[in-house]
Amino acid sequence: MSVTTSATGTRADTTPEPDTTQVKARERLPLWVILAPLLGGLALAVAGAVSVGTVNIPFGDVWAIIVHHVTPGSFEPWWTEARDAIVIDSRLPRALTAAVVGAALAIAGAVAQAVTRNPLADPFLLGVSSGAGFGVVLVTVLGVGGGALGVFTLPTAAFLGALLPLAGAIAISVRTQAVTAIVLVGVAMSMVFSALITFTLLVLGNDHQIGTVMRWLAGGFGDATWTMLAIPAAVLFIVGSGVLACSRQLNLLHVGDDGAAALGMNVQRFRILTLLAVSLLTAAAVAVSGTIGFIGLLIPHIAGYLVGRNSSRLIPVAAVSGAVALVVADIIARAVSNSTELPVGVVTGLIGAPLFLVMLWHR
Cα(31)–Cα(27) distance, rounded to whole angstroms?
Answer: 9
Q: By C-alpha distance, which of 262, 261, 240 is closest to 111?
A: 240
Q: Write down the pLDDT at residue 357.
A: 87
Q: Write down the pLDDT at residue 177.
A: 64
Alpha helical stretches, state H, 59-152: 59-70, 81-85, 92-116, 128-140
Q: Write down the pLDDT at residue 144.
A: 64
Q: By C-alpha distance, which of 124, 253, 242, 224 is closest to 183?
A: 124
pTM, entire model: 0.87
CA-angle at 162, arms to 160 and 163, nearest 5°: 70
Collapsing DSSP to helix, strand or coil, 2 comes out as strand
Q: Write down the pLDDT at residue 136.
A: 87
Q: Write down the pLDDT at residue 154.
A: 80
Q: Write down the pLDDT at residue 127.
A: 85
Q: Write down the pLDDT at residue 214.
A: 85
In contact, 218 and 136? CB cutoff 8 Å: no
Measured in whole angstroms, the distance separating CA 220 from the mean position of its chain's CA atoms is 13
Q: Write down the pLDDT at residue 237.
A: 95
Cα(219)–Cα(50) distance, rounded to whole angstroms?
Answer: 19
Run of H or E including 4: strand 2-6
In contact, 299 and 352? CB cutoff 8 Å: no
**Averaged pLDDT in 10-residue chunks for the chain of 363 residues:** 41 44 68 92 94 86 87 80 90 95 96 87 85 88 66 81 80 72 83 91 86 84 88 93 93 82 83 85 90 92 90 95 96 82 88 86 76
Give tens-digit pLDDT for 7-24: 344 344 443 444 566 666
Q: By C-alpha distance, which of 344, 342, 353 is closest to 98?
A: 344
Q: Which domains does the chain have, with CATH numbers?
A: 30-362 (1.10.3470.10)
